[in-house]
């Protein structure tokens, strides 16, 4: 693997730290294994529909409380209204069902012991979309992007008693956001993932990357490459990495800025794979800090039209997924939520999941590591993006930096997808091409793809040939295509007349196909919304795709029905996209078994 240059690492750190924030948005990796206090639970809130950041001229984050009868304060956090964190506000109160704007959340807490030798941070797993973090009456900064983590330091502000953390979250959809204004999923607003108080030594290990060097795969002694970065003023000269099961205890000399690139020789390494999702305990120590993680080592690459995992061809038996718990109708935000859907995917026979269309919760990626499920991860570069706007490109890079920082060490994550169904116009081609280069410079250990748009003109026409002509393919390792013949245009049997022409020596993933069905509704195979229609569509689609030269996997759309404001057909959709193989209540539809059978034969 090409190691990141130290200067690049620093640059990324700066991008992640200062692009949208005055100061202090610092990336802290692996929060789960640090000393933390959860700030989840009930938070008080105030709605700010006109986005004034204050009511009656009084900033909400100042937390004004009337002391005398004569005092004028025009908002109150203590009127009994609360929101559960983490969670989507839209599903918690009828008054917030369709609310898209700003809500201010307040949490108060005591911190019994504040130590001089420690630094304190507020870490937010994700808040959708634009977040203002304030603490004890001071604005710490803003974070943009609804699905990636961020941290702000509060060391100089934290007290033993009566701390108040006030976070404003604005979920308004805007044309220059990533994603842009219209999506086929629910715009769940609010603090959607865990919030915690993180305690670290004054100088601490804020980030590290380790991965298996693919050029050494065939060797007996393999090499693990790594990077390490410390944050703080009293930088030690040395750090240490320990992997007990591999008998590794290696000293790492640090540069004067607290970073290092390193390589370790390893013998008898058990490779991570779906059949053997072996994770090693890895501990890194530097100065007063010590952090442990569980990490798997594998390689992923392409050769001609094949995808190779650990040097061996693999067929990706996949399914698409949104980051929702359908039973709770909420954004997924726990290990239990992740387990629910990963268990279903394994029942279906999957070894691969496309986490559509934005970064999902970290719990699912960590659980996939343990269960041996490969993942495709993507950013919400979806319909309607302002391709010509350089600020939007910066936002996309920022989100990618945060996602890669979070998941770099996860063996399950093998593909970064840089876009979904975007028309190949010059501005978009330039944007995605820049982004592809950027992603490769931060992480050259994974494969790049993008779900390219179905061929509009040819789609739905019998006897047609699908030609892969999107210029962005040049930049990608894998060609991925969404194809809805039989649902959006034509009937399922028209799949018999469609062929696919590649012209590239690259593997192909069918990243979406499918159609809607209401679980429990039956009819003949031409009855729209019946389970039989969807079943027939799966039979014909699978037969069509299976003939594609270079087919390396598929991720039909989608494992479970999901909420979407675009889907309003009463009595059928009622706000749900019905293309799931499983209903929102957890019942399987007939098409589930068609795909399961196909995967059994692969």
Torsion of Cα atoms, 176 then 179 then 181 then 185, to 10° = -170
Q: How far is the CB of 587 from ligand GCB (least distance, A)?
A: 19
Task: Give 104 or 576: the residue with its C-beta nearer to ligand GCB.
Answer: 576
Task: Give 227 or 579: the residue with its C-beta nearer to ligand GCB.
Answer: 579
Which of 337, 369, 494, 512: binder of ligand GCB (CB under 6 A)? 512
Q: How far is the CB of 199 from ligand GCB (least distance, A)?
A: 40
Task: Give 320 or 348: the residue with its C-beta nearer to ligand GCB.
Answer: 320
Q: Where are the extended beta strands (E) located within 86-181? A: 102-109, 118-124, 127-128, 130-135, 138-144, 150-153, 163-170
Site string for ligand GCB, 528-567 (x = CB under 6 A): -----------------------------x----------
Task: Give 421 or 443: the residue with its C-beta nearer to ligand GCB.
Answer: 421
Q: How far is the CB of 451 from ligand GCB (least distance, A)?
A: 7
589: which 2 tokens? Answer: 């539809």
Q: How far is the CB of 513 from ligand GCB (least distance, A)?
A: 9
**Can you tell me whether residue 115 is helix, strand or coil?**
coil
Question: Which residues inside 146-205 make contact with ligand GCB, applying CB under 6 A?
Answer: 184
Q: How far is the CB of 536 from ligand GCB (least distance, A)?
A: 18
Q: How far is the CB of 561 from ligand GCB (least distance, A)?
A: 10
Residue 552, class by beta-carbon neighbours within 10 Å (0-12 exposed, 13-18 middle, 19+ buried)?
Answer: buried
Task: Give 308 or 472: the residue with its C-beta nearer to ligand GCB.
Answer: 472
Which of 30, 128, 420, 445: binder of ligand GCB (CB under 6 A)? 420
Q: Interhelix angle for 390-407 vs 6-18, to 10°? A: 110
Task: Give 289 or 459: the residue with its C-beta nearer to ligand GCB.
Answer: 459
- Nearest Cα residue to 174 out of 130, 132, 141: 130
The number of C-alpha atoms within 13 Å of 376 and in the hemisphere containing its C-beta is: 33
Q: How far is the CB of 555 from ligand GCB (least distance, A)?
A: 11
Q: Interhelix angle for 390-407 vs 362-371, to 10°? A: 40
Task: Give 228 or 582: the residue with its C-beta nearer to ligand GCB.
Answer: 582
Which of 151, 196, 577, 583: binder of ligand GCB (CB under 6 A)? 577
- Nearest Cα residue to 352 out of 371, 331, 380: 371
421 lies in the binding site for ligand GCB (CB under 6 A): yes
Which of 196, 299, 334, 482: binder of ligand GCB (CB under 6 A)? 482
Task: Give 366 or 589: the residue with its C-beta nearer to ligand GCB.
Answer: 589
Q: How far is the CB of 560 from ligand GCB (least distance, A)?
A: 12
Q: How far is the CB of 566 from ligand GCB (least distance, A)?
A: 8
260 lies in the binding site for ligand GCB (CB under 6 A): no
Task: Give 450 or 594: the residue with its C-beta nearer to ligand GCB.
Answer: 450
Are 36 and 198 a contacting pair, CB within 8 Å? yes
Residue environment code for 60-76, b if the CB has 16+ CB neighbours within 10 A, otherwise e: bbebbeeeeeeeeeebe
Q: How far is the CB of 18 from ligand GCB (least distance, A)?
A: 33
Report helix, strand and coil shares of the chain as percent, to nearest 5.
20, 30, 45
Task: Give 487 or 599: the residue with its C-beta nearer to ligand GCB.
Answer: 487
77: which 2 tokens? Answer: 């956090």
Task: Give 11 or 383: the residue with its C-beta nearer to ligand GCB.
Answer: 383
DSSP 39: -
Question: Which residues inside 385-414 make contact with ligand GCB, applying CB under 6 A?
Answer: none
Query: How many residues are present in the chain?
Result: 602
Task: Give 357 or 366: the residue with its C-beta nearer to ligand GCB.
Answer: 357
Task: Give 175 or 566: the residue with its C-beta nearer to ligand GCB.
Answer: 566
If binding means CB under 6 A, how many residues of this protein chain bind ligand GCB? 9
SS3 string, 184-245, reads: CCCCCCEECCCEEEEEEECCEEEEEEEEECHHHCCCCCEEEEEEEEEECCCCCCEEEEEEHH
Site string for ligand GCB, 452-481 (x = CB under 6 A): ------------------------------
Q: Which residue is nearest to ligand GCB (CB)?
A: 184
Residue environment code for 399-433, b if the CB has 16+ CB neighbours within 10 A, otherwise e: bbbbbbbbbbbbbbbbbbbbbbbbeeeeebbebbe
Site string for ligand GCB, 324-363 (x = CB under 6 A): ---------------------------------x------
330: which 2 tokens? Answer: 């909420």
- Nearest Cα residue to 225 out of 400, 408, 406, 14: 408
Which of 107, 222, 579, 590: binder of ligand GCB (CB under 6 A)? 579
CA distance 237 to 211: 23
- Nearest Cα residue to 517 out of 470, 480, 565, 569: 569
Q: How far is the CB of 357 from ligand GCB (least distance, A)?
A: 6
Binding-site ranges for ligand GCB (CB under 6 A): 184, 357, 420-421, 482, 512, 557, 577, 579
């Amino acid at each position: 693997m090409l190691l990141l240059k130290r200067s690049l690492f620093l640059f990324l750190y700066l991008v992640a730290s200062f692009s949208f924030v005055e100061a202090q948005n610092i990336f802290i990796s692996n929060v789960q294994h640090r000393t933390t206090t959860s700030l989840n639970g009930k938070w008080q809130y105030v709605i700010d529909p006109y986005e004034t950041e204050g009511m009656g001229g009084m900033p909400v984050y100042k937390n004004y409380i009337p002391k005398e009868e004569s005092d004028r304060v025009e908002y109150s956090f203590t009127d009994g209204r609360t929101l559960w964190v983490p969670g989507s506000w839209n599903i918690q109160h009828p008054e917030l069902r369709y609310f898209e704007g700003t809500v201010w959340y307040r949490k108060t807490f005591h911190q019994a012991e504040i130590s001089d030798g420690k630094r304190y941070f507020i870490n937010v797993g994700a808040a959708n979309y634009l977040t203002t973090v304030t603490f004890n009456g001071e604005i710490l900064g803003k974070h943009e992007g609804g699905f990636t983590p961020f941290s702000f330091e509060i060391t100089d502000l934290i007290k033993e008693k009566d701390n108040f953390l006030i976070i404003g979250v604005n979920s308004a959809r805007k044309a220059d956001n990533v994603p842009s204004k219209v999506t086929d999923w629910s715009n769940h607003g609010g603090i959607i993932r865990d919030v915690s108080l993180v305690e670290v030594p004054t100088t601490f290990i804020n980030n590290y990357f380790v991965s298996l060097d693919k050029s050494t795969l065939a060797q007996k002694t393999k090499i693990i490459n790594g990077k390490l970065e410390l944050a703080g003023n009293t930088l030690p000269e040395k750090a240490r990495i320990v992997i007990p099961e591999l008998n590794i205890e290696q000293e790492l000399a640090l540069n004067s800025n607290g970073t290092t690139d390193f390589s370790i020789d390893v013998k008898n390494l058990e490779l991570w794979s779906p059949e053997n999702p072996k994770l090693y305990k890895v501990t890194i120590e530097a100065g007063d800090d010590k952090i442990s993680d569980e990490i798997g080592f594998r390689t992923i690459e392409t050769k001609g039209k094949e995808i190779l995992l650990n040097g061996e061809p693999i067929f990706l038996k996949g399914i698409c997924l949104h980051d929702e718990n359908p039973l709770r109708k909420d954004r997924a935000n726990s290990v239990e939520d992740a387990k629910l859907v990963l268990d279903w995917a394994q029942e279906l026979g999957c070894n691969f999941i496309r986490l559509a269309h934005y970064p999902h919760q970290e719990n699912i990626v960590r659980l996939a590591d343990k269960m041996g499920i490969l993942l495709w991860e993507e950013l919400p570069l979806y319909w309607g993006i302002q391709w010509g706007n350089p600020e939007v490109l910066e936002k996309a890079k920022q989100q990618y930096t945060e996602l890669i920082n979070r998941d770099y060490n996860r063996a399950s994550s093998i593909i970064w997808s840089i876009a979904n169904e975007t028309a190949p116009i010059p501005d978009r081609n330039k944007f995605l091409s820049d982004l592809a280069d950027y992603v490769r410079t931060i992480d050259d250990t994974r494969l790049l793809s993008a779900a390219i748009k179905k061929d509009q003109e040819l789609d739905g026409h019998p006897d047609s040939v699908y030609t892969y002509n999107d210029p962005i393919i040049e930049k990608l390792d894998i060609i991925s295509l969404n194809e809805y013949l039989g649902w959006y245009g034509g009937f399922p049997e028209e799949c018999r007349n469609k062929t696919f022409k590649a012209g590239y020596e690259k593997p192909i993933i069918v990243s979406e196909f499918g159609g809607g069905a209401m679980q429990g509704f039956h009819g003949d195979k031409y009855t729209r919304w019946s389970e039989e229609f969807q079943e027939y569509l799966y039979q014909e689609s699978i037969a069509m795709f299976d003939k594609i030269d270079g087919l390396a996997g598929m991720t039909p759309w989608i494992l479970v029905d999901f909420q979407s404001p675009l889907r309003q057909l009463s009595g059928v959709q009622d706000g749900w996209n019905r293309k799931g193989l499983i209903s929102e209540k957890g019942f399987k539809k007939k098409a589930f078994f068609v795909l399961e059978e196909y995967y059994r034969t692969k």
